[in-house]
Amino acid sequence: MGLGLMAFAGFANGGTWKEFDQYFRESKFIHVMSLDFLLLSSFAPFWVYNDMTCRRCVDKGSWFIPLSLVPFLGPALYVALRPRLADLPVRIAPVETELGPTDMPK
């Protein structure tokens, strides 16, 4: 679907873009929907990278970041192919707590 949208936009003639421009200026729904789509699509690489660092797989899957720029398809492929959290080793760090004067055990 994402590649289809990009292909449709790439092969559209001038009349189609003029019609979209008219709808973009006149319809608040299309205006907000288009801006929302562009904004969310532009943030997809950030969220893919953020999830990759949480799963510690940045080195193995760095090709997902440019792929995530393709609307729908890139993030969907990442979600389908990323490693499960249950498969990752768990690191347990010691917890250090500081007791205040009112927290002293009695």
Sign of CA pseudo-dihedral 28, 34, 38, 39: positive
pLDDT tens across 40-56, in order? 888 988 988 888 888 88
> Which residues form the domain of 65?
14-82
- Judge whether 90 lies within some domain: no
pLDDT band with cut points at 50, 70 and 90 for residue 5:
confident
Residue 59 has pLDDT above 70, yes or no: yes
- Judge whether 72 lies within some domain: yes
Q: Which amino acid is at 10?
A: G
- Judge whether 31 lies within some domain: yes
- Judge whether 67 lies within some domain: yes
Residue 20 phi, psi (nearest 5): -65, -40
- Judge whether 18 lies within some domain: yes
- Judge whether 4 lies within some domain: no
- Judge whether 77 lies within some domain: yes
Domain count, the chain: 1
73-81 and 2-11 are packed helices; what angle lies between their axes, rounded to 10 degrees?
A: 160
Q: Which of 45, 83, 39 is nearest to 63 (CA)?
A: 45
- Judge whether 1 lies within some domain: no
This model's pTM is above 0.75: no
pLDDT band with cut points at 50, 70 and 90 for residue 18:
very high
14-26 and 28-54 are packed helices; what angle lies between their axes, rounded to 10 degrees?
A: 100
